[in-house]
Amino acid sequence: MSHINKPVPGADQFYPLNDPPIGAPLPQKTYPQNAELPILFQPLTIRGTTFKNRIFVSPMCQYSSDNGHATDWHLVHIGGFATRGAGAICIEATAVVPEGRISPEDAGLWTDSQIAPLQRIVKFAHAQGTKIGIQLAHAGRKSSTLAPWVHYHRPTLHKAPTSVAQKDEGGWPDEVYGPSDIPFADDYPVPKAMTESDMLHVEDAFIKAIERCEKIGFDFIEIHAAHGYLLHEFVSPLSNVRTDAYGGSLENRLRWPLRLFSRCRAAWSKPFFVRISATDWAEGPEKGADGEWKQWGIEQSKVYAGEMQKIGIDLIDCSSGGNWVKQQIALVPGYQVPFAEALKKTYPNLPIGAVGLITDPVVAESYLHDGKADAIFLARELMRTPHWPLFAAQALGVAVKSANQYERAFEFKHA
């Protein structure tokens, strides 16, 4: 046995090789407690890609991009998760056109110059043995808005008079699009109702972004169809009041998103996820006594998921809300898991991701054990506790690999 600090093969600089990968279980021969692994630390294989565990980093908007270009903030932010044991990382909502950004400082992938900084991040994640993907997005009627801390400055408690980023603030309030000309809220831009030409333009932009994803080397792509952004706006009767082939009936409201997904699926051979909002959390029932759909909800989401499964979508990342400004949600741990469970029960063979203030490893494991989901997506808890995968392993009695550089901080009992 050679006693050298082995490098990661093929990396563009020296990184010590972690074998097994960070966040993967240590050998059972040496660590007998790993004879029966909790599901959270069992690998998950999707379309030929194997994720070393089922702890997935959710996309987290950072409002820190330079005209859509990732910066060293993103390298450190994403790189920190790659070195701490997550099974997969999904880079934040990344707009396929400039006017599809949420804020002027949002990520983008509409031009080739945005490839290199993302590729640097991907290469680093791969050198740490971590799968990494990206969430492609269009913010629709919720675009051209101020970054959260610009809208509300906590140190001074100053709140901006409007959510809109004006032209002199880098915004594009006159170039905001949606299915209908209904603003999200009184202090949001009034969107232009999209024409067929507008929809084709966005479709083509998604395909071009996917071509760039191929060059960058991402392991998977997620399409953002949740949280009141463009694709969610099309499926919900609260935001889509069109009278053409893209509005009215459920079939019509699903028509354009499904067409977009079909084109994206054909353009991408690797795992393909879609994040949805399973409900609008609006007042009243999903369907009225007259048989008409009043708001978006889980029953329509089940139909939507079934159509996505036919297209070949590999995983549904099940979230909720964001399309009705008056939503009232009891924010408790796991509050969105029942929606994931409903989709999983309806489509047992379709991988489902659960999200929603999940913090406790034992509870997270129970969601997988009880068949409510196949993977756990975390965001805020990982921002608070980046080493959560290793702490989760300790809580569940599993010995997993920590980064070589951090081993002295994590002791796992062995035989």
The residues near 84 (Cβ < 8 Å, ≥ 6 apart) are: 22, 23, 386, 387, 388, 389, 390, 403, 406
Distances 246 to 251, 263, 303 between C-alpha atoms, Å: 8, 17, 16
Q: Is 347 designated active site?
A: no
Angle between helical axes of 250-267 and 196-216 (0-180°, round to 10):
30
Do the beta carbons of residue 132 and residue 125 sit within 8 Å? yes
225: amino acid identity, one letter: A
Angle between helical axes of 115-127 and 196-216 (0-180°, round to 10):
50
- Beta-strand relationship, 177-178 and 158-159: unpaired
407: amino acid identity, one letter: E
Distance CA 301, CA 95 (A): 24
- Catalytic residue, from 15, 63, 188, 229: name it: 229
**Which tokens hold the place of 46?**
């999707």
Distance CA 279, CA 286 (A): 9
**Which tokens hold the place of 360?**
């406790």
Mapped onto helix, strand or coil, the DSSP state of residue 193 is strand
Q: How many CB atoms lie within 10 A of CB 327?
A: 15
The residues near 110 (Cβ < 8 Å, ≥ 6 apart) are: 68, 95, 96, 97, 98, 205, 208, 209
Alpha helices in 277-387 (DSSP H): 298-311, 337-346, 361-369, 380-384
Do the beta carbons of residue 167 and residue 260 sit within 8 Å? no
Residues labelled as active-site residues: 229
